[in-house]
Amino acid sequence: MAQFQYKARDRSGSLITGSMDAASQEVVSLELGKMGHFPISIKSVKTKTKPKDSTGSLFGPRKVEIQELVLFSRQMATLVNAGIPILGSLTALSEQVQSPHFSQVILKVQADIGDGLSLSDAMSKHPDVFSELYVSMIEAGEAGGVMDEILRRLADLLERQEQNEDKIRTALRYPKMVVAAVVIAIGILMSKVVPVFVNMFQRAQIELPLPTKILIAFHKVFVDFWLIGLITAVVGFFAFKHYIKTENGRYQWHTLLLRMPIIGPIALRTSMARFTRVFGSLQSAGVPILETLNIASRVVSNVVIAGIIRGLRVSVEEGLGLADPLQRSGYVPPLVIQMVAAGEEAGALDDMLVKVADYYDEEVDRSLKKLSTYIEPILLVFMAVLVGFLALSIFLPMWDMSKMARR
């Protein structure tokens, strides 16, 4: 297929330009006609060979960056609010996005809309870019005629998600760097420094203190069995990764995460923030509650909490409230239960849950800051113990050797 650049007039007489992949100029003209445009000029463009798209790579489809999707949603909301038709908005945005893959996806969505599909149906054909949550909210915007408002809410949701993930990455960056530095330092000591002292102590034929004996034993294990240890660690890591991908393994791992000190409360608050924000946003957008629960259970990363949310469908189908099954779960915090109960009584469940989401986002932020304050002294103590042990192991026998030399 060749690429064509075109100029056309829409129904209001405004000039629009864009590009389209098609077999011939006649096909482009027909597609423009389906969109309600009157073509003025259509020119063939010689395209350079592009590198293979990463969607077919070994590691699976590469998703569009969240920041780019946020910008797309905000720009789309502005264009729709200004009265520009969806097709015209997509044409303009396809030329502005940075990612070639995203640009192609937008053009495909545009073509599907020209063939008679709705925006939500066209987007649902590209799950690597538009998630189930995104498509459902677009569908609600189409049904309620509030597309610009829905797009703004989607941008806010995506932006909040990016901020939370960035906070978690920032909080874990320092511990990762320290642990990596410790591992590298131990490897260098065991392979380069310790052997020199071990040989020295063995030639001296003196009674070695306990720390030095432990160090020598550890060095012997390191030298003789490092390959076995490395293979065991690698096999164990991949076995663990495989196990937690199974249904039972993931459930047990996520249950353990929720029960861990320090990490457990952060995992629970993160899940609650995501659940309440998505639930409140979808309800406010007019999405049916059963579909809302289904989507909310999918966007919560912890399978234990996701199972609790899926279980709420039974309560809704039986005409019961949400507060009681949440309380019986044993995991959902009392604040969420009380706000859900109050929201059901007042008929303002969406507003209540958005407030809960704001509260838990702040709690997650505070918890991550506390996590750094907890981890830093633990790492410092560990480093101090390690350095002290190495110092005793090396300097105690050297002190004995110096005393023997004085005699």
Q: What pLDDT sits at residue 63?
A: 66
Q: What pLDDT sits at residue 239?
A: 94
Q: What is the pTM of this model?
A: 0.63
| Residue 322 near residue 289, CB atoms below 8 Å | no
Termini Cα distance of the chain: 93
Tell me which of 2.60.40, 3.10.20, 3.30.70, 3.30.530 is the CATH number of domain 1-49. 3.10.20
The domain ranges of the chain are: 1-49, 173-407
**How many Å apart are CA 366 and CA 344, to the nearest integer?**
29
Three-state SS string over the chain comes to CEEEEEEEECCCCCEEEEEEEECCHHHHHHHHHHCCCEEEEEEEECCCCCCCCHHHCCCCCCCCCHHHHHHHHHHHHHHHHCCCCHHHHHHHHHCCCCCHHHHHHHHHHHHHHHCCCCHHHHHHCCCCCCCHHHHHHHHHHHHHCCHHHHHHHHHHHHHHHHHHHHHHHHHHHHHHHHHHHHHHHHHHHHHHHHHHHHHHHHHHCCCCCHHHHHHHHHHHHHHHHHHHHHHHHHHHHHHHHHHCCCHHHHHHHHHHHHHCCCHHHHHHHHHHHHHHHHHHHHHHCCCCHHHHHHHHHHHCCCHHHHHHHHHHHHHHHCCCCCHHHHHHHCCCCHHHHHHHHHHHHHCCHHHHHHHHHHHHHHHHHHHHHHHHHHHHHHHHHHHHHHHHHHHHHHHHHHHHHHHHHHC
**How many Å apart are CA 374 and CA 324, to the nearest integer?**
35
Q: What pLDDT sits at residue 397?
A: 79
What's the distance, CA 60 to chain centroid? 15
Q: What pLDDT sits at residue 406?
A: 62
Q: What pLDDT sits at residue 66?
A: 83
Q: What pLDDT sits at residue 393?
A: 82
Q: What pLDDT sits at residue 13?
A: 62
Residues of the chain with pLDDT under 50: 1, 46-62
Annotation: CATH topology of 173-407 = Receptor-associated Protein (1.20.81)
Q: What pLDDT sits at residue 22?
A: 66
Q: What pLDDT sits at residue 55?
A: 33
| Residue 312 near residue 325, CB atoms below 8 Å | yes
